[in-house]
Structure 1
Amino acid sequence: MIDFEIPADVAELRDRVRKFVDTEIVPYEKDSRVTAHGPTDELRRELIAKAKAAGLLSVQQRPEGMSHLEQAVIFEAAGWSTLGPVAMNCAAPDEGNMFLLSKVADADQAAEYLDPVVAGTTRSVFAMTEPDGAGSDPSQLSTTAVRDGGTFVINGRKWLITGAVGADTWIIMADVPGEGATLFLCHGDTPGIVIERVMNTMDRNYVEGHCVVRFEDLTLPESSVLGSVGQAFRYAQLRLAPARLTHCMRWLGAASRAQSIAIEHAKTRTSFGKPIGRHQGVGFLLAENEIALQQCRLMIWWACWHLDKGAKARHESSMVKAMVSEELFKVADRCVQVLGGIGISDETPVAAIFTDMRAFRLYDGPTEVHKYAISRQLLRDAAE
């Protein structure tokens, strides 16, 4: 028997989150500190303080734990504004990094690198993607970490590194020659980390944007290794499967917000003698959106159910990421269409949601890479 009822305590928390985001965070959406490169860290700290006062900071890291299904409900509510996850400290990359560190870091590493991120006093970075290789295919990793006595010397170049400016907790993926890809921990002010520039991208919902970073003889001790040498790909998969889903959860909230704005406009805007929502063309757009939103929600819950049972859910999370990112983009597009001229302006947040949603189709792997992974799994299953 499948039960879709949300437990009372989760529903209560969802409603608190939605009210908090709607009343406390939405007014910041036109703040000048929401720049072309995303919210500034100054704004983030102000929002973090509000969430902390409301008892809603880093709820996914609470001591009693939170299932993936519970996260799906709460993160959707947080995503009602793209600033909601920033305020509640459940935005990427911090949310995914907290998950990874809580699973792999030892006690000393957790105290030094994880706890400050959970508290919202600093931000984190996951430095994997490279301009000439590693990204959707991390096996093309070219950044190296060469052993030198009791240290590792890291050299290489990364890009699209989210939130690098001002971040203190850094997780760096580099290849240890002869031993394999490895994750390293260090602080952002460690000599050898060079931030070349902030990239101009179409999205603007991640704190301090995305950067090009260079490592020049970054020297780290043996104790900086996160987990074991040569296990980076395994740890990355541990992080990426749930992270794909949390992206989907948050953007489902944003798409639902766009839909609510489109519905309100369709009720009040008149054309040819009646509200435009009464015209079949507009009504059908709204109906298609509602169908897609519920399909996306149920697919997310389905994959979360697999994770909560202890499955790795790589296949399931790839299916969800491929479907949800494409469908939510269509939802945002239809909302722009319903809104007409104001849909391409900043009179509502819909245009920004639409633009950010286009970038979401590439986060944690483009749709084509996930379809490739899905097809490979299907062929493996058929061969058994």
Structure 2
Amino acid sequence: MTPRRQLVALVGADLLSNLGSRISVVAIPWLVLETTGSPVKMGVVAAAETLPYLLSSALGTPLADRLGLRRSSILADVGSAGLMVAVALTPWLGFGTLVALVAVVGALRGVGDRVKHVLFRPVAEAAGVRLIRLTSVYDGLGRVVTLIGAGMGGLLIWWFGVTWAILIDAATFAVCAALIGLLVRAPAAAGDGAPAAPQGYLRALGGGFRYLGRDHPLLTMLLVISALNMVVNASIAVYIPLWVADVLGNPAGLGLVLGAFSAGALLGNVLFTVLGPRLRRDLTFAVGAAVSGAPRLLVLALSEDLPLVLVVTFLSGIGIAVVNPLLGVALYERVPAELQTRVIGLAGSLAFAGLPVGALLGGWTVTAYGLVPALLAAAVFALLVTTIPLLTALRSQPAPTPDPSPVPPG
């Protein structure tokens, strides 16, 4: 198989795995509702996957280096498929067993997702695809998967029932493992089934921490993205639903506001895929991060005009579209190949850490101070974390070397 087809298979497998995960986000809480009738237990099982996912993304990657990236990806997906079949077919085992199974799936997914992302670089270079274009296209496709995944989960439950919806989710993991196993042959440098040189677990893990602590521009980018994730999740979980309820009184407005942000992000991905290689990266990241956070919060705090809110939210979505692709390129270009699994794992955990924190802080700030003060405080926070620290760090460091557009081997 040609290198470009291997890249398509790898990216397709990762997106298919993400689609299955979005289905399970809907299907598993629904299974709990059907079997227990408890909203509290729905929340518990929904959260049970998140913490193991974050922990394994950071702590499991040294083991993946030792086992081999491609092999780790296949085993993680096969294990996830088997466990999701168990979730679907054995609901009588009890709620505690269900939580344990879901937690193990989360841990496997954390490792599986990270190693696939590490494989992107060598496979893309072998295919002659520029990394900045790959990360931009992947981010856009990932947003499409996120948009359709939850809706697909609901439709599958409606059409076939929750058991079959979860079995379909399990099938996506199995197909993902088959695609990687049969169609992807990563270069040897990427750990294509070859274990890494023996190294103690703690020493290997510490190497990732030490590198990330020394690379101040990269660490700053990660902290900014973690802060943005915190603000975004607070907005989705708390701020936007409350604004819609208070101002519009119609739940259809929630779909409009969230849809405007997603539509802006998709357009931004298209624009960045075309223009990204010509733009100055540090400035583009800073502007995109600043546009994506504070403006959409300020317009909710200061306006009750839905068209204005939709326009500003749409523009904020365009801004967010440059952030993740530029972080991906920075990770691939700045981090030595032998450390990428560990550093990318730590980066994923740090970036996603803002998600659960954001939902908690969103609810607390509204309860303590009211919606408008909470929005204003979040806007000020977003403005500070997306401009001052980032620009200060990047001014003291040279911009990353442009992507060299590797030539595929003859």
Q: Using structure 1 for the length normalisation, give the TM-score.
A: 0.33
Q: Which has the higher helix share?
A: 2
Q: Which has the higher strand share?
A: 1
Q: Using structure 2 for the length normalisation, give the TM-score.
A: 0.32
